[in-house]
Amino acid sequence: MASPSDCKATIIDGKAIAQTIRSEIADEVRHLSQKYGKVPGLAVVIVGNRKDSQSYVGMKRKACAEVGIRSFDVNLPEEVPESDLISKVHELNANPDVHGILVQLPLPKHINEEKVLGEISLEKDVDGFHPLNIGKLAMKGREPLFQPCTPKGCLELLSRSGVSVKGKNAVVVGRSNIVGLPVSLLLLKADATVSIVHSRTPDPERLVREADIVIAAAGQAMMIKGSWIKPGAAVIDVGTNAVDDPTKKSGYRLVGDVDFEAACRVAGWITPVPGGVGPMTVAMLLQNTLDGAKRVIEQ
């Protein structure tokens, strides 16, 4: 790690910010429970037994319990037919106690991801991936019912760290449907001037060097060097990459898409990996579930 004296940047502590948001959510859930006798419900659907998916889902269920959101657990076998998964989704759509439905990705090869996600009721799409939610996110003057959790978390980290987005040059590295594309739309909505860097961009360094705000979501370990960062820029690192490290018991350590050591000497603000964006994604999922529940319960 860079010694504190070397590190000029303010470290954006995603864990601490997420914890603050969780306690705000817990207060609101208590209020709903006392006033209406109802609490938000989140259904988490997992297909098969991928270790990483299992651990994500475990984390989400634990987070629900912590803030008082009721968890509906749906575990389906790897070889479940697509039609069975879809009828399960329809069942959850019809359940009035479920306010959010999350289908853990990736799904097994024989299942059409797009088709399954499209079957989730728009009012319960707490992942924010329904084509209509993404479509509204892309349009001026329209608001989606839900914003995707990781991109929403990135903007929340900036705003709670006092970083203004309006009029700034923002560069998003990566164009995935889950992070890169929606986060660039959110930045645009917040009045930033947005460029997207991807695998076919001829000179990524040149664009990143001009950015007041960098959102790194390429999934490539330490691709963005410290020398690429404009002095004083805000850097949000979404990447989580395992690199070999024989000094660790596990044999590896997690690093971001940004060379943290070098970048924190130049940047104004930076998120660490792990502990930056990850905890925020779960906090935003809880926030979306609460918002979905309030729309129904407070009618």
Cα Rg for the chain, rounded, in angstroms?
20
E strand or H helix at 10, and its extent? strand 10-11
d(CA 29, CA 23): 10
Assess contact for 229 and 196: CB atoms under 8 A.
no
d(CA 47, CA 49): 7
Please write down the long-range contacts of 295-299, taking CB distance under 8 Å and 24 or more positions apart: 295/123, 295/145, 296/96, 296/99, 296/123, 297/32, 297/36, 297/38, 298/32, 298/36
Q: Is 60 annotated in the active site?
A: yes
d(CA 62, CA 283): 12
- Strands 252-255 and 241-244, bridge-based pairing: antiparallel
H helix and E strand count, the chain: 10, 11
Assess contact for 197 and 181: CB atoms under 8 A.
no
Which one from 104, 168, 189, 259 is the annotated catalytic residue? 104
What is the rounded (10 degree) CA torsion for 186, 274, 58, 68?
-60
Assess contact for 59 and 253: CB atoms under 8 A.
no
Assess contact for 257 and 277: CB atoms under 8 A.
no
CB-facing half-sphere around the CA of 176: CA atoms within 13 A = 13
Which one from 88, 124, 125, 127 is the annotated catalytic residue? 127
Q: Which two tokens stand for residue 67?
A: 């803030």
Q: Which positions are catalytic?
A: 60, 104, 127
